[in-house]
Chains A and B, each alone.
Chain A
Amino acid sequence: MELELGLALPNQTPMEIKRHIKQKREFAEALENGDIENKKLCLLLWSGQPDEEDDDRRGSQRTDINKRINEEEDIIVGWPPINSVRKELLHHHQQYHGGNWIARVPGRDNNNGARNRISLLVKVKMEGVAIGRKIDLRLFNSYQALKHTLLHMFSKYLKIDRNGNEYTVLYQDKEGDWLLAGDVPWETFMESVQRMEILRNDS
């Protein structure tokens, strides 16, 4: 089982990091969990920007939205050269439709099968770690696999018990509420998760 994990310095752009990952193949320890198939995990570093409440978009001027989009994406201003109408459309879909912006027919289960390659990138912060990470939830289909991978991601920064019993994984839903990951069915979680946080149990 081959995993490409690339870790890089915070001041590299996400694109530079991706190239770094492509160039340098690292073999990580195989994950015991058989649920994870042989997929490429792309981990992006999100440089530690001060925590921003990006839920309240209503009433923002488009330029404010652009600023926030830029800060969240950690990209070069005005690149690629697409206008705000288009940017807002893309960003809106990635945030509020869980990254899958193929229209869901109301009341129907949208099964695009294996052809659905749209990623669902959410930010993950770990208590005690300055640098947040981004993870593509589409690569998982269970909480167990997700939690395992998350702890593995952060184990570079903190000595973490691999069982992860001392940690609680929380997520923020569309309404802005923080909930315990694992309480709702996986599909429901996938439809509403906006971002995640890992807390130590002893704090």
Chain B
Amino acid sequence: MAQSFPEDVLEHVFSFLNYDKDRNAVSLVCKSWYEIERLCRRRIFIGNCYAVSSEIVIRRFPDVRAVELKGKPHFADFNLVPEGWGGYVYPWIVSLARAYPWLEEIKLKRMVVTDESLELISKSFKNYKVLVLLSCEGFTTDGLASIAANCRNLRELDLGESEVEDLSGHWLSHFPDNCTSLVSLNISCLGSEVSFCALERLVARCPNLKTLRLNRAVPLEKLPNLLCRAPQLVELGTGAYSAEIQSDIFSNLAEAFLGCKQLKGLSGFWDVVPAYLPAMYSVCSRITSLNLSYATAQNPDLVHFVSQCSNLQRLWVLDYIEDTGLEALAASCKDLHELRVFPSDPFDAEANVSLTEQGLVAVSEGCPKLQSVLYFCRQMSNAALVAIARNRPNMIRFRLCIIEPRAPDYLTLEPLDTGFGAIVENCKELRRLSMSGLLTDRVFEYIGTHAKKLEMLSIAFAGDSDSGLHHVLSGCESLRKLEIRDCPFGDKALLANATKLETMRSLWMSSCSVSFGACKLLGQKMPRLNVEVINERGLPDSRPESCPVEKLYVYRTIAGPRVDMPGFVWTMDEHVSSRLSRVTERRGD
């Protein structure tokens, strides 16, 4: 049957397949489909840059136009991955530059990107269009200058929340006068001021600009200049949202916003002066995405502004919104899909605002489409979690962070096992879960039993024994990423579920009770896993086998052990025991 269609017909059919899952399925049908598919795959997603080598990728897919790579594990966001761990993109860029002269898009997350890499990107690809750097580091504004200067058809430059060494704002002026192709520009993470004139001219000459996210240094008084030149904007990130209270600044701002009829998303809002919030009232009813998570506005100004946005689908906000604000949100924003509430004072055990579990319960009751939650608070109860679970069986992502580790149900002082158990039992489509508070092995039993669609699980300061880990590894059929910190999980569960690890992207365990010996055994037993131990204190001198490792990162790979590891990372494989004994011998003399 497969042979009866000419190749170009199949290729045309395959061109409608955009998801990797579908393309992977298609390539398993038969050899000729595998061959046809691999020649016409244009987009590659690599969730772990160490899972595969660039050579293997290029050999299989000879004509790729877009590459997405992720480097460090998620817990790197919270400083748990030491500096120098890895995730260097340069070797990838070198290979990609050689193999894909027509590459158009590179998206990187949590990778180390140097100015060298950026310069190489800017000079190697004839039709380069999209550069997205999320939570990356290692480059300076000089690297950005190369991109601006050399990428003639640049459509998208998104610096995400990357750590950029800001040498000067001058890099923006490197965009040539004939560059008119920009569709999306996000420089919100940059500290220094870019030349406003250069920015203004750039915005004016790019008629297709849809997304513009400014940095804090762009003053509010100048925002109207940009908005007037880009009334077609769909997403705007303001700079600092503060200025002296002057009626002409206000009226200019209000008028400029009035002209932005396509605006759907707002972000930025550093240093909010509440008096200027009403300048945006004309766009509020069209806003579907609102990121106020840097905005220090409080109620009533805050809730009044949010309530104007009746079509809101996504809200990111600080806990200044309080329970009362969330109740108002639940009443006015019936289309809400996603809510993230960040803490304004995370390092104080005492609450500085009146935000409790009640706010989240209210939103879960009032917003029928709510499916994605990230919520920081200081108290939680099983009753509230059960209510949320019953209200929202359509929940897909649920991340709850109770600020105090191991905090029990504040009403009953019991563990929160029942509450989270209700979440996994009722929310059958749950794909991502982060838990906190006092949790015993019981909750993991519930998770293993019910969370069949769960793909990513984050656990901290929870559980009593290996039993907990065993429930998760043996029960969660769809699990891809598991990250654990400060839990009493050890060798038994890990070794008993070794084969499970090959079905997952990665496992992270830090400050647990996994021994060097177990890691070695795992590495020896499972050649298709990289079992990496991160021990900043070096290898233990005495009784290394039973010593617990500081951090463990296990991931499946077809690229073999890493070659770019720093001194404090070891791959535990068959070679490691000789290395271990050599270290202890040396220490002895």
Contact = CB atoms under 8 A, between A and B. Distances in A.
Interface of A: 14-15, 18-19, 42, 61-63, 66, 70, 73, 75-86, 89-90, 93, 101-103, 105-108, 115, 117-119
B163 interface: yes
Contacts of A14: 347-349
Contacts of B271: 103
Nearest to B320: A102
A80 B79 contact: no
B352 A101 contact: no
B83 interface: yes
B294 interface: yes
Contacts of A78: 75, 78-80, 485
B589 interface: no
Contacts of B91: none
B342 interface: yes
Nearest to A16: B349
Q: Which of B79, B80, B163, B344 has the most CB of A within 10 A?
A: B79
Q: Which of A78, A102, A117 has the most CB of B within 10 A?
A: A78
A66 B345 contact: no
B348 A119 contact: yes
20 contacts: A14-B349, A15-B349, A61-B163, A78-B79, A80-B343, A80-B346, A81-B458, A82-B78, A83-B135, A86-B342, A90-B344, A101-B296, A103-B271, A103-B272, A105-B244, A105-B245, A106-B244, A108-B245, A115-B298, A119-B352
A106 B353 CA distance: 25
A18 B404 CA distance: 11
Interface in B249-304: 270-273, 275, 293-294, 296, 298
Main secondary structure of the interface of B (DSSP, over half): loop
Nearest to B165: A61
B567 interface: no
B376 interface: yes
Interface in B75-128: 75, 77-80, 83
Contacts of B83: 63
B139 to A, nearest CB: 13
B354 to A, nearest CB: 9
B161 interface: yes
Contacts of A82: 78, 342-343, 346, 376
B135 A80 contact: no
B242 interface: yes
Contact of B296 (A62, A66, A84, A103): A103
A188 to B, nearest CB: 21
A105 B273 contact: yes
Contacts of A106: 244
B131 interface: no
Given A61-B163, A83-B135, A86-B342, A77 B79 contact: yes
A18 B350 CA distance: 7
B350 A90 contact: no
Interface of B: 75, 77-80, 83, 135, 137, 161, 163, 189, 242, 244-245, 270-273, 275, 293-294, 296, 298, 342-350, 352-353, 376, 401, 403-405, 434, 458, 460, 485-486
Contacts of B404: 15, 19
A76 B405 contact: yes
B566 to A, nearest CB: 14
Nearest to A79: B405
A107 B244 CA distance: 8
A90 B273 CA distance: 17
Given A62-B163, A78-B79, A103-B273, A85 B189 contact: yes
A81 B353 CA distance: 19
B249 to A, nearest CB: 12
B78 A81 contact: yes
Given A61-B163, A83-B77, 13 more contacts: A63-B83, A77-B80, A78-B79, A80-B346, A80-B401, A81-B458, A82-B376, A86-B293, A93-B296, A105-B245, A108-B244, A118-B345, A119-B345
Q: Which of A14, A42, A80 has the most CB of B within 10 A?
A: A80
A81 B189 CA distance: 19
Lowest 9 A-B CB distances belong to which pairs? A78-B78, A18-B349, A15-B349, A103-B271, A83-B77, A80-B346, A85-B161, A78-B80, A73-B347
Nearest to A106: B244
B401 A103 contact: no
A98 B271 CA distance: 14
Contacts of B296: 93, 101-103
B403 A80 contact: yes
Given A81-B77, A83-B135, A83-B161, A102 B401 contact: no
A63 B85 CA distance: 13
B379 to A, nearest CB: 12
B434 to A, nearest CB: 8
A103 B135 CA distance: 27
A201 B469 CA distance: 60
Q: Which of B78, B161, B244 has the most CB of A within 10 A?
A: B78
Contacts of B78: 77-79, 81-83
Contact of A63 (B79, B270, B353): B79
B359 to A, nearest CB: 17
Contact of B294 (A77, A84, A89, A118): A89
Q: Which of A18, A73, A75, A81 has the most CB of B within 10 A?
A: A81
Contacts of A75: 347
Q: Which of A19, A79, A90, A106 has the most CB of B within 10 A?
A: A79
A137 to B, nearest CB: 15
Contacts of A61: 163
B242 A105 contact: yes
A180 to B, nearest CB: 30
Nearest to B244: A106
A84 B342 CA distance: 13
A43 B80 CA distance: 29
Nearest to B78: A78
Contacts of B401: 80-81
Contacts of B353: 117
Contacts of B189: 85
A107 B243 CA distance: 10
Nearest to A118: B352
Contacts of B403: 80
A73 B272 CA distance: 26
Contacts of B137: 62
